[in-house]
Amino acid sequence: MPKVAFYTLGCKVNQYESDAMAELFKERGYELVDFNDVADVYVINTCTVTNEGARKSRQIIRQATRRNPGATVAVVGCYAQMNADEILQIPGVDVVVGTKDRHKIVDLVERAKKGDARIVDVEDIMKVRTFEEIAFKGYRQRTRAFLKIQEGCNMFCSYCIIPYVRGPVRSRPLDSILKEAENLAKDGFKEIVLTGIHLGLYGADFENGPALYDVIEKLSKIEGIKRIRLSSIEAMELSDDFIKKLAAVENFCHHFHIPLQSGSDRILKLMNRRYTVSEFEERIQFIKKIMPDVAITTDVIVGFPGETDEDFEDTREFIEKIEFSRLHVFKFSPRKGTPAAKMPEQVPAELKEKRSRELIILSKKLERNFREKFVGKVIDVLFEERDGDIYFGHTGNYIKVGVRSGEELRNELLKVELIKNEDEFILGNIKKI
């Protein structure tokens, strides 16, 4: 039986797509092995969001070619879409596929095995108008299954390469989504996380077709699905009506990841983010009013070109005012091909590092403060994994909870009394019914 190994860089969408491609290989008789093992085929699913992502992609490709010089090496994904010529300069690469036609990956690999010529399948992604179906299997991380329902982005933020490598918005047909969700429910998954490149634009390319709420409403009725979560969504796509409807869906998780990027209106304009700080705040306050227990996590970029100490201080103060439950902090990385890479007043690396550390410290404080609000309450926890004598899981609003138990709790959804706020989680006791 031939062996195939995957290495995935970047986002959850990439991981979903790698899992789907792995299913295609298994259906054709391949054994899936660890990337560190000797395999007959290596598939590297690349990232190009930052220069570091591209560098790491090249590094992993070279590792694969050294591990088994006789293996067939296939490079797919965003870096392959953007820089196929660079990849072809690396000795040992046999197949290059961009962000389209990944459903053909097994056929392309087997063609490469039989011939001497390299195979390159990279098309103009800006001309693609349909969602690519890869496989009816979701990305299975612990007890949650990620379900990709949307591809592409039309927003063109000034720092982001993604619209150029993923193409325009394409939405997955509702019937296809429901079929995969039903398969996941039959396999025992209790939580589904809807994901995409720009999730809030789901349905924007349909004419009188379903929108994101329609997907959630249909999924909520599938037997066995106890939780529906969104991976990331923009603030201005969360209308009053949408939030009110979501609040009425019993198994919708009260957790939103809403990228802020900056708390300075001047920097937001340079980023081409299409909202102001006050508009962002208005959306957050409305969500908190409708869902008082909601967790709101966010992304923040520090060191964007032209960001002054005053701009950074505005961002820090706004973050404290909003009381996010967690921050994902990114140091600006100029990406060739984006407007921001050519902007003047690039911020020195040491200053970006200083600002990043400051926000990471603030994030830990905000996380702890958010968890503290729930000490003493009884909340449902979906358990995922054991670490020593503690079994960990998450609440619907994404609080990490640990209980001491000798029992196997994986994929169990249980009521837990939250009793003590630790450094990175809340310790609890399972409530016996």
To which residue do tokens 């983010």 refer? 273
- Kindly state the DSSP code that residue 272 receives in the 8-state scheme: T
pLDDT (tens digit per residue) in 256-270: 999 999 999 999 999
Of the candidates 138, 235, 141, the one whose C-alpha atom is nearest the C-alpha of residue 184 is: 138
Instruction: Reduce the DSSP state of residue 58 to 3 states and report it.
Output: helix
pLDDT of residue 115: 80
pLDDT (tens digit per residue) in 203-250: 999 998 999 999 999 999 999 999 999 999 999 999 999 999 999 999
Higher pLDDT, 127 or 71: 71
pLDDT band at 129 (very low <50, low <70, confident <90, very high): confident
Query: For the chain, what is the mean pLDDT?
Result: 94
Q: Which CATH class is domain 378-430?
A: mainly beta
Cα 90 from Cα 244, distance rounded (Å): 52
pLDDT (tens digit per residue) in 23-80: 999 999 999 999 999 999 999 999 988 878 889 999 999 999 999 999 999 999 999 9
pLDDT of residue 126: 83
pLDDT (tens digit per residue) in 366-396: 999 999 999 999 999 999 999 999 999 999 9
pLDDT of residue 285: 98
SS (H, E, C) 355-393: HHHHHHHHHHHHHHHHHHCCCCCEEEEEEEEEECCEEEE
- Label the pairing between strands 413-421 and 426-430: antiparallel
Of the candidates 107, 113, 38, 121, the one whose C-alpha atom is nearest the C-alpha of residue 75 is: 121
User: Residue 413 class from Cβ within 10 Å (0-12 exposed, 13-18 middle, 19+ buried)?
Assistant: middle
Cα 411 from Cα 38, distance rounded (Å): 32
The Cα-based distances of 193 to 153, 255, 409 in angstroms read: 19, 11, 21
pLDDT (tens digit per residue) in 272-323: 999 999 999 999 999 999 999 999 999 999 999 999 999 999 999 999 999 9
199-203: average pLDDT = 96
Cα 241 from Cα 102, distance rounded (Å): 37
Residues 6 or more apart in contact with residue 27 via CB below 8 angstroms = none
Cα 332 from Cα 339, distance rounded (Å): 13
pTM: 0.90
- Partnered with residue 418 across adjacent β-strands are 428
pLDDT of residue 140: 53
Angle at 304 between CA 258 and CA 349, to 5 degrees: 120
150-163: average pLDDT = 95
184-195: average pLDDT = 94
Of the candidates 385, 398, 393, 396, the one whose C-alpha atom is nearest the C-alpha of residue 430 is: 393
Cα 62 from Cα 57, distance rounded (Å): 9
Q: In the CATH scheme, what is the homologous superfamily, with its name and number, of domain 3-123?
A: Methylthiotransferase, N-terminal domain (3.40.50.12160)
Rg over alpha carbons for the chain, rounded to the nearest Å, is 22
For the chain, give every domain's residue range: 3-123, 378-430
pLDDT band at 139 (very low <50, low <70, confident <90, very high): very low
Residue 386: both structure tokens together: 């054991």
Residue 46: both structure tokens together: 């690349």
pLDDT of residue 142: 56
Residue 355: both structure tokens together: 């600002």
Count Cα neighbours of 228 within 13 Å in the Cβ-side half-sphere: 25
Domains 3-123 and 378-430 share a fold: no
